Amino acid sequence: MIYYKTPAEIEKMRLAALVVSRTLAEIAKIIGPGVTTKELDTLAEDYILSQNAVPGFKGYMGYPATLCTSVNEQVVHGIPNDVKLKEGDVVSIDCGAVLDGFHGDHAYSFMIGEVKPEVKELLRVTKKSLYIGIEASRAGQRISDIGYAIQTYTEKHGYGVVRELTGHGLGRNLHEDPSVPNYGRRGRGKMIRNGLVIAIEPMINLGKKEVGQLDDGWTIVTKDGLASAHFEHDIAIVDKKPVILSTFDYLEDALRERGLEIL
């Protein structure tokens, strides 16, 4: 069952999403070679608590951390650890926070130093596919039109679209109906209408679409071992159009400030 949100609830959800956006900016200030994902996790948790919010992922189905940190062939749900990030890595940082009862949940794939050109292109295309999916999120369209748009664009580049994980409704719960696949045929599923709040999160593989799970019970990895990218925004449908509640502006400003490349 879909919980449609009132304008007042959507404003609360914007504030929750922006806690996450600012947390990602704190990460952008320090991420680089030699930093561990555990250090990033501690920073994120401290920052979220300082905003009178609480981590949204920690404890969710037993998940042990504030962030999901997925490096290279890890697609999503990587658990922060003591391994130092190194030049050439790509790391997807997914973060959740609950503020005033509502969840924010968004993600960005960061480059560590100089990464291979083909990985850069994967990041560029995956990020663009998120905005293409958002553009398709208009009242009168259906949920599957979002996935159709993302799949068509990313497969044109020869990439694999992960099937096993999807975007989702967002609200007082981290995962609400509807599920929002990143693939599909046009014109299927629920109609998109005002008050719908969803997290759109393309997970796109450089190689094949097949994924597996590590023994930790969480980390999703590509079967072929090639890199994967993940970008996520929270959006609300207002006046029949998508409004992006989260933002990459803060984190990209922080990267720019350090002279790092933005794709």
Applying CB under 6 A, which residues contact ligand MF3? 57, 60, 63, 68, 77, 94, 96, 105, 107, 168, 201, 232
Partner in contact with 63, chosen from ligand MF3, Co ion, none, beta carbon below 5 to 8 Å by kind: ligand MF3
Say whether residue 199 binds Co ion (CB under 5 A): yes
Closest separation between CB of residue 244 and ligand MF3, Å? 16
Show Cβ contacts of residue 123 under 8 Å, excluding neighbours closer than 6 positions.
Answer: 90, 109, 111, 115, 229, 263
The residues facing 176 across adjacent strands are: 169
SS3 188: coil
Of 63 and 148, nearer to ligand MF3 (C-beta) is 63
DSSP annotation of 169 = E
Closest separation between CB of residue 87 and ligand MF3, Å? 27
Say whether residue 105 binds Co ion (CB under 5 A): yes
Of 68 and 235, nearer to ligand MF3 (C-beta) is 68
SS3 217: coil
Closest separation between CB of residue 168 and Co ion, Å? 6
Partner in contact with 68, chosen from Co ion, ligand MF3, none, beta carbon below 5 to 8 Å by kind: ligand MF3
Residue 75's nearest CA partner among 185, 198, 212 is: 212
Read off the amino acid at residue 62.
G
How far, rounded to the nearest angstrom, does the alpha carbon of residue 257 sit from its chain's CA centroid?
23
SS3 119: helix
Stated as kind and residue range, the H or E segment containing 105 is: strand 102-111
Closest separation between CB of residue 168 and ligand MF3, Å? 6
SS3 content of the chain, % helix, strand, coil (to 5): 30, 30, 40
User: Which residue in this structure is represented by tokens 């599923």?
Assistant: 189
DSSP annotation of 57 = S
Closest separation between CB of residue 142 and ligand MF3, Å? 21
Partner in contact with 48, chosen from ligand MF3, Co ion, none, beta carbon below 5 to 8 Å by kind: none
Of 32 and 178, nearer to ligand MF3 (C-beta) is 178
Residue 79's nearest CA partner among 109, 48, 36 is: 36
Partner in contact with 183, chosen from ligand MF3, Co ion, none, beta carbon below 5 to 8 Å by kind: none
Of 12 and 77, nearer to ligand MF3 (C-beta) is 77
Of 145 and 232, nearer to Co ion (C-beta) is 232
Please report, as ranges, the residues that interact with Co ion according to CB under 5 A: 105, 199
